[in-house]
Amino acid sequence: MNAKSARIRRVARLLSGLLLLASLSIAELIMGAERIVVGTPSRGLFEFPAVVALRKGYYKDEGLEVDKVQMQPAIAVKALISGDIDYLLAWGSAIRPAVTGVPLKAVVGMASRPLHVLIARPDIKTPKDLKGKIIGVDSVAGTVDYLSRVAMRHFGLEPEKDVKIIVTGESPTRLAALRAGSIDATPIDVAFAMKAEDEGFRRLLYLGDIIELPLSGIAVMDKKLQTQREQVKKVIRASLRGSRFMKQNRAETIQMLSEYLRITPSQAAKAYDTSINSFTDDGMISDKGVSLDVQLTKERLKITKEIPLSQLVDWSLVKEVNR
C-alpha cells in the first residue's frame, strides 16, 4: 500500500467516525426532547403564530418536538379529552365545550379579534343590502356562525328573520359556494378573502374592526395544566415568540404566509396588513371578548346558568412567561 492510499483510507475512516458521532448526537437530542402533539381544526391565518414558531425553531429551543395535526373540531376536542393530542390550537372549538363543563382551559390567546372579512357578491354594496340574502357559515354554533349573527345585529338585521344562515363548511368550501351562487355572502378567513376580492367579489368589511370576539388560542386539559405546568409554559413561550416575530418582521412573515396558505405575495401582504393588529402582544384575551363568546354559546345551546370565566381560561402561566 503506498503512502497516498493509506492517507486516503485514514481520511475516510475519520469522516465515517465524524458522521457517526453527528448522527448519535442528533439522536440524543431528539430522544431528550419532549414530544407533543398539537391539534388544529383547519389550515389558516389563525394558527400562524404556531406555524412561525415551528419554522423558526422556537419550540425546539424549548426542548419540544411538535407534531401538528389537522382534524375536525369535534374530533379534535375528543382527541384532547382522550389524550391523543396534548394541545388544541383553536378558540371556539375549545371554549364552547368548556362552557358545557368539559374540564379544559385556554392558557394563551393568539388572536383577540376575528381574522375574517365579510365577502359578498359584487351587486351587494353594503352590509344592510344583505336583508333577504343567504349567509354561508362553517357549522351550527361554529365561530363563523357566531360572527355572522353578531355582524348582522351590528347592522340592524336579525339573524333567521332578515337573513338565512346555512352551513356550507370551512373557508375554501364557502368560497366555492359563493362562486357557485348558492350563498350571497360569508365571513371568510382573511387570506381566502384576498383571493375572493381578486376574483371580483366585494369586501364589505373586516370583522375584526367591529367585533371583539377571540379567534385563536391554545387550550389544554385541566389535568395537564395541573401536572405539567413547565411544559405548558414552554408551549406558551414559543408560541408568543412566533406571534411577536410576525409583528416585527412583516416581509418575512408575508413570504411565509404566501408559501403556507398558497396565495400570491400580493394577497399575503393584504392579508397581513388587514389582520396583524388582531394578534395579541401578550397572549391575553380581555374579559369582554371571552364573555361575548360565553354569551353566544349560551344562546345557541340554551344554557341559562352563569358560567364563571375561570371555568374557561387560566392566564396564570402566560403572566409568568411575560414577567
In this structure, the answer to whether residues 60 and 192 fall within a common structural domain is: no
In this structure, the answer to whether residues 244 and 123 fall within a common structural domain is: no
| Structural domain includes residue 16 | no
- Does the pLDDT at position 17 exceed 50? no
pLDDT digits (tens, 9 = 90+) for 219-260: 999 999 999 999 999 999 999 999 999 999 999 999 999 999
In this structure, the answer to whether residues 83 and 229 fall within a common structural domain is: yes
In this structure, the answer to whether residues 94 and 202 fall within a common structural domain is: no
| Structural domain includes residue 24 | no
The mean pLDDT value for 55-78 works out to 96
Q: How far apart are CA 121 and CA 164, in angstroms?
A: 15
In this structure, the answer to whether residues 153 and 169 fall within a common structural domain is: yes
In this structure, the answer to whether residues 35 and 69 fall within a common structural domain is: yes
CB atoms within 10 A of CB 220: 25
Total domains present in the chain: 2
pLDDT at 228: 98
The mean pLDDT value for 149-154 works out to 95
Cell of 220: 389544554
- Does the pLDDT at position 13 exceed 70? no
Residue 204: enclosing H or E segment and its boundaries?
strand 202-206
| Structural domain includes residue 76 | yes
pLDDT digits (tens, 9 = 90+) for 279-295: 999 999 999 999 999 99
In this structure, the answer to whether residues 159 and 179 fall within a common structural domain is: yes
Q: How far apart are CA 241 and CA 59, in angstroms?
A: 9
Q: Are 239 and 218 in contact (CB under 8 A)?
A: yes
| Structural domain includes residue 159 | yes
| Structural domain includes residue 204 | yes
Closest CA to 216 of 101, 104, 100, 50: 50
Q: 96-110 burial by CB neighbour count: b if 16+ within 10 A, else e?
A: bbbbeebebbbbbbb
| Structural domain includes residue 21 | no
pLDDT digits (tens, 9 = 90+) for 110-134: 999 999 999 999 999 999 999 999 9
Confidence of residue 9 (pLDDT cuts 50, 70, 90): low
DSSP string, 128-169: GGGTT-EEEESSTTSHHHHHHHHHHHHTT--BTTTBEEEE--
Q: How far apart are CA 35 and CA 58, in angstroms?
A: 14
Q: What is the largest CA-CA distance in the chain?
A: 94
Of 143, 175, 209, the domain-final residue: 209
- pLDDT: which is higher, 237 or 28: 237
Of 188, 209, 230, the domain-final residue: 209
Domain that holds residue 183: 116-209
Average pLDDT, the chain: 91
Q: How far apart are CA 93 and CA 74, in angstroms?
A: 7
In this structure, the answer to whether residues 291 and 250 fall within a common structural domain is: yes
Q: Are 88 and 76 in contact (CB under 8 A)?
A: yes
In this structure, the answer to whether residues 296 and 226 fall within a common structural domain is: yes
In this structure, the answer to whether residues 79 and 107 fall within a common structural domain is: yes
Percent of the chain with pLDDT over 90: 84
134-137 and 116-120 as β-strands: parallel, antiparallel, unpaired? unpaired
CATH number for the domain including 258?
3.40.190.10
The mean pLDDT value for 30-41 works out to 86
Confidence of residue 8 (pLDDT cuts 50, 70, 90): very low
Q: How far apart are CA 172 and CA 193, in angstroms?
A: 10
User: Hunting for cell 369582554 — which residue is that?
Assistant: 288
pLDDT digits (tens, 9 = 90+) for 97-111: 999 999 999 999 999
Confidence of residue 29 (pLDDT cuts 50, 70, 90): very low
Of 186, 209, 232, the domain-final residue: 209
Beta bridge partners of 206: 117
The mean pLDDT value for 126-147 works out to 94
In this structure, the answer to whether residues 104 and 120 fall within a common structural domain is: no
Q: How far apart are CA 323 and CA 320, in angstroms?
A: 5
| Structural domain includes residue 59 | yes
CB atoms within 10 A of CB 181: 9
| Structural domain includes residue 266 | yes
In this structure, the answer to whether residues 136 and 232 fall within a common structural domain is: no
